[in-house]
Amino acid sequence: MAGARTVVIACVAALAAGAGVMAAFQYTSPVEIDHESLRKARLMEDVMFSRAAIGGPFSLTDHQGRRRGLEEFRGKVVVLYFGYTFCPDVCPADLVAISKMIEALGPAGERVQPLFVTLDPERDTVEQLALYVPHFHPRLIGLTGTVEEVGTVAERYKLYFKKVQAREGPHYYLDHSAYIYLLDEQGRYYGTFPPGTWPERLTSVVWELLHTLPTAAR
Ligand code: NI
């Protein structure tokens, strides 16, 4: 009988241990996730895991007031970046990296078209973009539009952005995802780099893309 009791105790202990392991594997969120954070996470995951169709045509107004459509850049690799000119850090750093990459590519860099689409069309007017983009690269095209137009493009590229009020005054910032998008020479989505990617890394990937395209021999 003593042996049977030992077996029962051992089984109860094993069950308890098993339950403990199960409990440890049950995912519980450490914080209450609000609707907005969930929307942001889902959009970011759409890009990270290629979970949704990304990209598509667009037509916006450039920093010289001309209407520009994605189709006019056929035959070039498009480096597409979304941000806003008031951005204090990430946007300017990535735009510098993109510009350095184009220069590092040498003559091949002429087959790369950098585009900067503002997510803040209310402040980033044609005039504001005209003051901003030449600081980075002479061929960088700044693009703006109505709030609706910009919203549609952002949605197609699964980009998250939201106004965040500054602590003081009427000023606001934008919380935004900051991927560096690559589109192939047909304007199709090729992939993204995370913000803060080194120019050397951008250069080697774009170099490879340029040399695997059907027009590489040209
Ligand atoms: Ni930014």
CA distance 67 to 61: 4
Residue 62 alpha carbon to ligand 1 centre in Å: 19
Q: Give the torsion through C-alpha atoms of 190, 78, 126, 170, to 10 deg.
A: 40
Short-list 90, 64, 38, CA closest to 194: 90
Residue 80 alpha carbon to ligand 1 centre in Å: 14
Cβ-contact 161, 152 below 8 angstroms: no
Confidence (pTM): 0.82
**pLDDT of res. 1:** 46
Residue 15 alpha carbon to ligand 1 centre in Å: 52
**pLDDT of res. 43:** 87
Residue 8 alpha carbon to ligand 1 centre in Å: 63
Residue 83 alpha carbon to ligand 1 centre in Å: 5
Residue 57 alpha carbon to ligand 1 centre in Å: 23
Question: Domains (ranges, CATH) in the chain?
Answer: 59-213 (3.40.30.10)
Residue 116 alpha carbon to ligand 1 centre in Å: 11
**pLDDT of res. 48:** 83
pLDDT by residue for the chain (218 residues), tens digit each? 445 555 545 544 555 555 555 555 566 666 677 888 888 888 888 888 878 889 999 999 999 999 999 999 999 999 999 999 999 889 999 999 999 999 999 999 999 999 999 999 999 999 999 999 999 999 999 999 999 999 999 999 999 999 999 888 779 999 999 999 999 999 999 999 999 999 999 999 999 999 987 765 44
